[in-house]
Chain A
């Protein structure tokens, strides 16, 4: 086990807890945009895709890297754009709604 792996595991566990505490507070009315937005964040794998596509490892790696870049970029752009499209539809009442209790 290397230092890097242990460091990575620490970061992973802490970020998981952070994510859980943040997402637990997202109201259910926003769960669909949350999913598509989170989806876009998981497109961060684009970083890896760019690195393998441009590393000059040979034609096979470049080809696979190209496909990976396309996939990740669809994930990123599609995810953010569709989330934005949904969120702009959410609007409040002009008059405040009568309180329920």
Chain B
């Protein structure tokens, strides 16, 4: 048993450890230690809670801790790096679900014991239940979409926004009723929970495909806010601090993603992007593409002084990261420099492509942000575009009629030569023709990315 003041102090230490942990994420060199420090903070918070005098029985707790830890560890060990967005979505959901359950139990307990909840506890409980429930079901839908167990396309139906607005209004009315009128039937509270769960589903189903990174970031933020609300309910500052930290993290990442797509958050959430058909995408009729052979491409890469690789999600789908690393090592052996240009939306979540390349042992100091590398393309002998499309489409700069107009892109077209590895001439995710492929400096190498890269590597070895 520890005294309440010591308890609060130790919780504060835990919160400070979380803060230092996030601060150490500012450099890849200190990041791992930072994460471990943060984990120590969490362990401390758990130990302090376990020694609290409010806890009278340990059986349920022990079972929960063991089961949860085992499942969490198993997920963390077995997940593929390409499936990281699903994993994060699922974890967000669990966090939200836990916050929801805690708020529910607190509310039901206060009710059962006949204690009248003070106004602020009543209000924060409703908030906690609401945001926890939305996070839970919203994350499950996001998971199902990313796992392709549900269609990745936006799911829309007539009067969708009206239905959502009515749902929201109903939740608001129920919440106000529960807060203001004492002794409201439990059914009203359970109805609020149910409606919030439905709202979580409704908010995520109309969002699809390329917008999922924003959704994951946002749900991350919600799970933090849900934890903070739980902090208000059980009056514990460490939950409020940690929840707020995570809440702001998710919001910032959502903004970065939106900026990278030149869209507003409101447009992502309510715009149902994929549902609109591109209105004035330029036709490719009458244009020709230059194709190239493996031999020719290999010679160009082998004698290039600066090669900038533009990886897209197609690279990860083909599981060709290791072949890219081999190619990089060969070009370096020939005396060339290889850099990687990473567009913020290159992967399926913020920073995803960097993790996929790190997994293939590509050093992180060769990976460059869009702003840092765009000036280098002019000096590049070859821009090697692998499985990327919309992020190198010059129409984003020049064609006001294009759906991606205004989106910041990588200046691959400024390179002296562009080699594009592509399966075929299909349009990109947004369904838009890419002028870059018809550029006279561009050479297309058709085929599966992994196969083409393997052949390129074999060929360069002979140069």
Per the bound structure, the CA–CA distance linking A18 and B57 in Å amounts to 37
Beta-carbon contacts of B78-106 to A below 8 Å, as 1s and 0s?
01010010011001101101110110111
Per the bound structure, the CA–CA distance linking A1 and B232 in Å amounts to 13
Identify which of B25, B60, B235 contacts A4 (C-beta below 8 A): B235
- Greatest chain A CB density within 10 A among B73, B112, B351 is at B351
Chain B interface mostly helix, strand, loop or mixed? Answer: helix
Identify which of B119, B233, B361 contacts A91 (C-beta below 8 A): B361
Per the bound structure, the CA–CA distance linking A75 and B245 in Å amounts to 16
Beta-carbon contacts of B395-419 to A below 8 Å, as 1s and 0s?
0000000000000000000000000
Per the bound structure, the CA–CA distance linking A24 and B234 in Å amounts to 30
Report yes or no: A11 in contact with B351, Cβ–Cβ below 8 A.
Answer: no
Range for the number of chain A residues in contact with chain B: 35 or more
Q: How far is the CB of B257 from chain A (nearest CB, A)?
A: 9
- Greatest chain A CB density within 10 A among B84, B226, B227 is at B227
Report yes or no: A81 in contact with B241, Cβ–Cβ below 8 A.
Answer: no
Report yes or no: B368 in contact with A19, Cβ–Cβ below 8 A.
Answer: no
B contact residues around A66 at 8 Å (CB): 60, 63-64
With contacts A8-B232, A12-B228, A80-B35 known, is A86 near B358, CB below 8 A?
Answer: yes
Closest 9 CB pairs of A and B: A73-B68, A69-B64, A31-B351, A77-B72, A78-B72, A81-B76, A19-B248, A15-B244, A54-B55
Which A residues fall within an 8 A CB radius of B?
1-2, 4-5, 8, 11-13, 15-20, 22-58, 60-62, 64-93, 96-98, 100-101
| Listed A/B pairs (24) with beta-carbon separation below 8 Å | A2-B118, A4-B120, A12-B241, A15-B248, A19-B248, A23-B253, A35-B216, A37-B38, A38-B220, A43-B227, A45-B99, A45-B226, A50-B46, A52-B109, A61-B109, A75-B94, A75-B223, A77-B69, A78-B87, A80-B38, A84-B32, A90-B358, A100-B339, A100-B376
